[in-house]
Amino acid sequence: MSPMVLLLVAAAVLLALPESAAAFPIADSGRARCAILLDEEARPAERRAARELAEHLRQMTGATFSVTTNPGAARNALVVGPCAVARQALGEDTLAALAPEQFLIRTQGRHLFLVGGSPRGTLYAAYHLLDNVLGVRWWTPTYTEVPRKRTLEVRRLNLNVQPTFEYRDPYLATAWHADWAARNRCNGMVGNGGPNGPADEEHGGGFLIYAGGSCHTFDQFVPAALLEQHPTWFSEVEGKRVAGQYEGQLCLSNPEVLEYLIDAVDQTLQKTPGATNVSITQNDNVQYCRCARCAAIDAEEGSPAGAMLRFVNAVAERLEAKYPRVMFDTFAYQYTRKAPRLARPRRNVIVRLCSIECDFGRPLSAATNRAFAEDAKAWAAIAPRLYVWDYITNFTNYFKPHPNLRVLGPNLRFFAEHNVRGVFEQGTEITPTGEFEDLRAWVLSRLLWNPYQDDQKLIAEFCDGCYGPASKPIQAYIKLIHDLQEGSDYYLSCFAQDPAPFLNAEAMARADQLFKQALAAVAGKEPYEAHVRRAYLPVQSQWLTHYEEWAKEVAAKGLPAPDPAPKILREFKQLATALGIRLYTSSKPTTEMIAEWEQRYGAAQ
Ligand SMILES: [Zn+2]
């Protein structure tokens, strides 16, 4: 048993002690002391909540827990969902007042009630009990830690919990696993048709279900193929009309464009009956329309967000009566990041503010991020529903050490304090990534639920859980690269070019030594060794990038030598391939990078 598990067990015992007379009994010496009570009409997510409770409590205690719909079947019951027993005990009005993801965990009479404002809320109540109260940790999709205790009670509880952010999306491959996402209460990517498809009802269903694409949709609704026939529908740049995802935008002051797009959006919504959202967002380029009419609007508004927002408002207004439950979202991105002076987002418009230009090595309160922070404040003042599209990786090198772990917590607190209600944390495009992916996903899942937690303590907790005996050297490595970043004036962009000056031979020699210590501490101890080897990939990647130069430098300085390049390359190739990390950069396959290294260092076989 790891020290972490012992600690968790100790915590559970302490929880049970003070009011043991009134505590809720779960198991006694490996025998169940309660049943799990479910409504006959329970929804799939509520049934899943009951199954997850039964299975994890069995792993904790060794006992078998029955799931029943008969209220008379057990003296003590874990009551799951708003069944008749729960409604009677807690009150119809109390339950009706719960927001969809809000939940109550309450000991009352002989029962422990787990009831949410929706089936997903009830599912989250079950996970909160297992995780936050009883110490289960779903660290990664393949590694769960369950404390063992054959006798288990829960102290009296009266919790009323809801998330800070309504939309929580750490966009990393880790979170595409539907089980992991539900257990860690992320409701984004698995819910909006991501790589694994929309979350099924069992996992709580999708929070965001888009009709059509979820971003950069101008080209989808008004395709560039129409340029020849309708040149004035597209953006005028230096006297020329341009169209296409990477080439142009729409002329937003042209009434024909508005009518055409409304019709296209209407048709898309008709094809997606359960849609919650439709995205009306600029193409991924900055060639916005400078025609006289658009330019006049933007001048009046002090920003090209003016023409954009007036246009999106018009779409949202026209389609509101027909689709009263659908939100129309748009971007404040690049040229539209600055809020308009006059236009105001309608009540059925979501503005998604994008932080793509920021310095991710420093918090939003830092001088380097002042312009973004000012824009965020301006949107916070006028947007009824503000989301943020944030960036947590380096798209020009997914393996490069990206020391942004000290800003994740402060930035989420900044967002919470500025009316942001949903956060998409983009960590990849279509592939698992190389740098602390599991750590980022888990820590972000905690902070997106409640950003007012000690983010550095969460990182340490993850290291203890996932790296076990190697936690200390891994934390020393994290400290090393973050101290170096903070001590430099390096602007940590999400398109940071290689090399960062602080990632030099001396620093990476020290990093390499820390990983050697980490590996020695976990040799033969799975899953820790696998986790450490994965965390080592960025350091190995740095060495493979700079080997000839750095090896000479560390030799001259008498620093410990790295492994021979062919050995590093062999290990890197094996693991990156096994993990399916397909992209080295956003446009370069990992296989291509490995082939280049094989040219330099010899085949990795
Ligand atoms: Zn125009």
Written as one string, the DSSP assignment of 25-66 is EEEETTEE--EEEE-TT--HHHHHHHHHHHHHHHHHHS----
Supply the pLDDT for residue 4: 44
Could you give the 3-state DSSP secondary structure of residue 229?
coil
Supply the pLDDT for residue 430: 78
Distance (Å) from CA 294 to ligand 1 centroid: 4
Identify the bridge partners of residue 114 per DSSP, sorted by sequence position. 80, 105
d(CA 483, CA 599): 34
Backbone angles phi, psi at 251, to 5 degrees: -85, 105
Identify the bridge partners of residue 234 per DSSP, sorted by sequence position. 250
What domains are defined for the chain?
Answer: 3-161 (3.30.379.10), 212-273+281-326 (no CATH), 468-601 (no CATH)
Identify the bridge partners of residue 38 per DSSP, sorted by sequence position. 80
Distance (Å) from CA 241 to ligand 1 centroid: 9
> Is residue 499 reached through a cis peptide bond, with omega within 30 degrees of 0 on the bond before it?
yes
Helices 455-467 and 471-487 sit at what angle, rounded to 10 degrees?
A: 140
The DSSP string of 174-220 is GGGSHHHHHHTT--SGGGTT-TT-SPPGGGT--S--EES-SS--HHH
Supply the pLDDT for residue 604: 59
Distance (Å) from CA 375 to ligand 1 centroid: 24
Distance (Å) from CA 313 to ligand 1 centroid: 17
d(CA 416, CA 436): 25
Return the exposure string of 507-542: e unless at least 16 CB atoms fall within 10 Å of the residue's CB, then b: bbbbbbbbbebbbebbeeeebbbbbbbbbbbbbbbb
Distance (Å) from CA 233 to ligand 1 centroid: 8
DSSP code, position 589: B
Backbone angles phi, psi at 27, to 5 degrees: -150, 150
d(CA 382, CA 339): 9
Distance (Å) from CA 251 to ligand 1 centroid: 4
Amino acid identity at 200: D
d(CA 54, CA 40): 17
Distance (Å) from CA 520 to ligand 1 centroid: 63
Place of tokens 């080997």: 547
Distance (Å) from CA 214 to ligand 1 centroid: 24
Distance (Å) from CA 252 to ligand 1 centroid: 6
d(CA 364, CA 341): 23
Distance (Å) from CA 239 to ligand 1 centroid: 11
d(CA 382, CA 558): 59
d(CA 314, CA 211): 18
Distance (Å) from CA 218 to ligand 1 centroid: 14
Backbone angles phi, psi at 229, to 5 degrees: -75, -35
Distance (Å) from CA 210 to ligand 1 centroid: 27
Helices 255-271 and 305-320 sit at what angle, rounded to 10 degrees?
A: 50
List the chain residues with pLDDT less than 70: 1-21, 190-198, 498, 604-605
| Angstrom distances, CA of residue 33 to CA of 30, 62, 207 | 9, 12, 36
Distance (Å) from CA 255 to ligand 1 centroid: 10
Place of tokens 């539900």: 182
Distance (Å) from CA 338 to ligand 1 centroid: 19
The DSSP string of 63-79 is ----EES-TTS-SSEEE
d(CA 473, CA 439): 15
The DSSP string of 515-578 is HHHHHHHHTT-TTHHHHHHHHHHHHHHHHHHHHHHHHHHHHHTTPPPPPPHHHHHHHHHHHHHH
Distance (Å) from CA 253 to ligand 1 centroid: 5
Supply the pLDDT for residue 530: 97
What's the farthest any 2 CA atoms get from each other in the chain?
81
Distance (Å) from CA 266 to ligand 1 centroid: 23
C-alpha 340: how far from its chain's center? 29
Q: Which helix (H) or strand (E) holds 410?
A: helix 408-417
Distance (Å) from CA 12 to ligand 1 centroid: 63
Amino acid identity at 433: T
Distance (Å) from CA 249 to ligand 1 centroid: 9
The DSSP string of 340-360 is PSS----TTEEEEEE-TTS-T
d(CA 103, CA 186): 15
d(CA 233, CA 289): 10
C-alpha 578: how far from its chain's center? 23
Distance (Å) from CA 293 to ligand 1 centroid: 6
Characterise 30 by phi-psi region: left (phi > 0), alpha (psi -120 to 50), beta (else).
Answer: left
- Strands of the 31-32 sheet, one edge to the other: 31-32, 24-28, 152-154
Is the CA virtual torsion 243, 245, 250, 256 positive or negative?
positive
Distance (Å) from CA 379 to ligand 1 centroid: 24
Supply the pLDDT for residue 19: 40
Distance (Å) from CA 330 to ligand 1 centroid: 18
Token pair in block for residue 573: 């190739």
Q: How many CB atoms lie within 10 A of CB 201?
A: 15
Q: Which of 325, 381, 324 is nearest to 353 (CA)?
A: 381
d(CA 177, CA 598): 33
Distance (Å) from CA 307 to ligand 1 centroid: 9
Q: Which of 368, 45, 394, 329 is nearest to 205 (CA)?
A: 45
Distance (Å) from CA 217 to ligand 1 centroid: 18
| Angstrom distances, CA of residue 397 to CA of 332, 494, 585 | 26, 9, 4
Distance (Å) from CA 310 to ligand 1 centroid: 13
- Do 544 and 601 meet the contact criterion of CB atoms below 8 Å apart? yes
